[in-house]
Amino acid sequence: MANTIKVRKNYQYCLYRCDKKDEKLRHKIFVASTIWNHFIALQRRYYRMTGKYIPLHRMNKHVLKLRKMKRFALWQDLHSQACQDVCRRIDKAYQRFFKRLSKGRPKFKRASKYKSFTLPQKDKGYQLVDYNRNKPKGDDKWTRERGIIRIDGTHYKFVQHRPIQGEIKTLTVKQDSMGRLWLFFSVIETISIKQVSTGKSGGFDFGLKTFLTDDEGRAWSSPQFFTQGLRKTSTLHRRLSRKVQGSNHHKRAKCALAKHSADVANRRRDFQYKLAHRLCDEYDIIYIEDLNIEGMKQLWGRKVSDLAFAQFVDILEWVAFKRGKKVMKIDRWYPSTQTCSACDFVNQQITLRDREWCCPECKTHHQRDHNAAKNIKTAGASAGY
């Protein structure tokens, strides 16, 4: 069975480093930051005077008007649509604030904290250059791995490790914490879902001791990537703290630390993708608990962040979606740990420390996570998914 479906996807490519050219893109990001701060100031002043908010369409108009003025000649360095995109970001931030989704009103941002600008329309402000044009004969590798993009008359090379499929919607140029520049293409792609049914469903329990336990009692432990790298992290932190702020040595040390953190995150994500695929190989329906991550963090701290359950659930859902499988979340208040999977007796006495317990009603001996996984499967199946 195969059906096609449209999805929004990101393609992410790293630009080749070139100090002279990179400076131009960094300048554009800087311009975007000045626009951001200008409009934040404007919104606040307008609110003080009238008690109202400037809607997006008026900001869009206004930014184009200002852009033509001599005082704001700097803004000419950024494409008009990219300028308007900054307004869109401000509007988005304020809408979140109005809906009480953010902690406070949108803030001013230091230029060094502002990381990207977006060109919201294909071929407006940039062109992908057909790099096959001057291709040497018989040299396939060259064409495959190098892409060229023209932004404001300058050509930039980037590592194109895979071709872009689908229809390009937006392009975002972004600087990461190591100072590298990236291209993010947001694309609408039609993917075909090839479903291979196995007819199996499974319940899974997340835990701190073992990352994942299924209803057959098998366990998958997660390497604790952050804890593994902790020694190196603290060494790098120590080195950084000894450097003079603002010096080149400081910059370099900061970069090394950022690189290490990115490395930890990459390895964790890689592990989680592989695990998600392995689960989807085996099961058609996967039952998991709806986790209360914030509450867990307060209880157990750093270890929860290191295991990154929430990220894994996102990845699992995406992989399952792509492969035509289902992930079902069961109610977070269901006492999966305390219920006896054999006779449904709810044992309130179980604490976090009890790895194993014996049911006082039917005398079944339970291994904590295995029992929970069994319950999650039963609860999911009985909910009629």
Site for Zn ion, rule CB under 5 A:
340, 342-343, 345, 359, 361-362, 364
CB of 218 to Zn ion, least distance (A): 22
330, 287 contact by CB (below 8 A) = yes
Phi, psi for residue 118 in degrees, rounded to 5? -125, 135
User: 170 or 364: whose CB is closer to Zn ion?
Assistant: 364
The answer to whether 36 and 90 are in contact (CB under 8 A) is: yes
Helix/strand/coil (H, E, C) string of 69-92?
CHHHHHHHHCCHHHHHHHHHHHHH
Cβ contacts of 352 within 8 Å, gap of 6 or more? none
361: phi > 0 → left, psi -120 to 50 → alpha, else beta; which? alpha
Residue 276 DSSP one-character state: H
What is the spatial distance between Cα 50 and Cα 48, in angstroms, rounded to a whole number? Answer: 6
What is the closest distance, in whole angstroms, from the C-beta atom of residue 214 to Zn ion in the complex?
20
Extended beta strands in 301-346, E state: 326-330
Sheet holding 154-159, edge to edge: 126-129, 146-151, 154-159
Beta carbon nearer to Zn ion, 286 or 359: 359
In one letter, which amino acid is 276?
A
Whichever of 41 and 343 has its CB closer to Zn ion, that residue is: 343
For Zn ion, the closer CB: 299 or 346? 346
Q: H-helix or E-strand containing 225?
A: helix 225-228
Residue whose structure tokens are 């295991």: 307
CB of 339 to Zn ion, least distance (A): 9
Phi, psi of 344 (to 5 degrees): 65, 15
Rounded least distance, CB 358 to Zn ion, Å = 9
Q: Closer to Zn ion by CB, 273 or 345: give it.
A: 345
In the complex, minimum distance from the CB of residue 342 to Zn ion, in angstroms, rounded to a whole number: 4
Q: How far apart are the C-alpha atoms of 92 and 36, rounded to whole Å?
A: 12
Smallest distance from Zn ion to CB 203, Å: 17
* Residue (152 or 361) nearer to Zn ion, CB: 361
Q: At closest approach, how far in Å is the CB of 366 from Zn ion?
A: 8
Q: Which CB sits closer to Zn ion, 125 or 203?
A: 203
* H-helix segments, 283-357: 293-300, 302-307, 309-322
